[in-house]
Amino acid sequence: MLLPVLLRGRLTDLRPRRPAMHLLRGALYVVALVGFIYGVRALSLANAYAMFLSAPLFVAALSRPLLKERASGGNWAAILVGLAGVLVMLRPSASGFVTFGAFAVLLAAVAYALSAIAVRVLTRTDSTASVVFWTASLMTAFAALLAAPGWVPLARPHWYWLLGLGVLAAIGQYLLTDAFRSAPPSVVAPFEYTSLLWGVGIDRLVWHVLPSARVLVGGGIVIASGLYLIWNERSLPGAAATLPSWKWAAEKGRMSRRVSGVGDAAARKQEGDSS
């Protein structure tokens, strides 16, 4: 995570400009992690993961009051339909839905959604490297404090798995942060629904199992609602003006460097001509 910054000699990129927001995001990530792990222990993996898929819907829903971003009636309809899809996968009953496990996963989904919105706020002032570095560092510190009272030494073979997990998580976090910098949360979040497809593929490849028809139908509803959110964002009357604005924000640094390079070349050419 630090290697690219060190190689470029850009340690100043790690300076946090909103320390309180970094602390909040680190705490939210720990809540999401603890809630999901507890949910997996109490529920089946399929049920826990299906409920956690509601997180992108919460992102889209909370972007309106917290970030003052536009949300049409169609968006709200898609969010409700997506939540209905999650309920189809869970097949809730009066005795099985309101459990500590289900509540923990739902809390994890809300915490994750809030952390995604915090990314949108942080990337207005902080670099991607800064957001990733401080989120990972603070999450590690908070998690270590929680784990310290009941710490169990890690077995040697587990270190390789943890190292691989850490590398993949750092890459994923960096790309996700850059995505939220480049586009509104309501546009980025629905792409996370593709994780259901990855989950089905990994289940089949590693454990040789396939999800039930109920999970496939509910997952299809959730993914369809997410894709509708993307389509609806692009088809709104003001989308043509709004879309280029955040695309320009994403490309601004690269374009300004390119313009600067052209200016330097022109200056050198003028200098050569005058000599």
Give 114-157 pLDDT, tens digit per residue. 998 998 889 888 888 888 888 888 988 998 898 889 888 888 88
Q: Which of 146-155, 199-208, 219-228, 252-261 has the lowest mean pLDDT?
A: 252-261
Residue 266: band (very low, low, confident or very high) from pLDDT cuts 50, 70, 90: very low
N-terminal to C-terminal alpha carbon distance within the chain: 47
Q: Inform me whether the pLDDT recorded for 243 exceeds 70.
A: no
Q: Tell me if 80 sits within 8 A of 26, measured CB to CB.
A: no
> Which element (helix H / strand E) includes 259?
helix 239-274
User: What 3-state class would DSSP assign to 98?
Assistant: coil
Give 202-217 pLDDT, tens digit per residue. 777 887 877 778 777 8
Can you give the pLDDT at residue 270? 45
pTM over 0.75: no
226 vs 161 pLDDT, higher one: 161
Q: Where are the domains of the chain?
A: 3-146+160-236, 242-275
Average pLDDT score, the chain: 76
CB neighbours (10 Å) of residue 65?
9
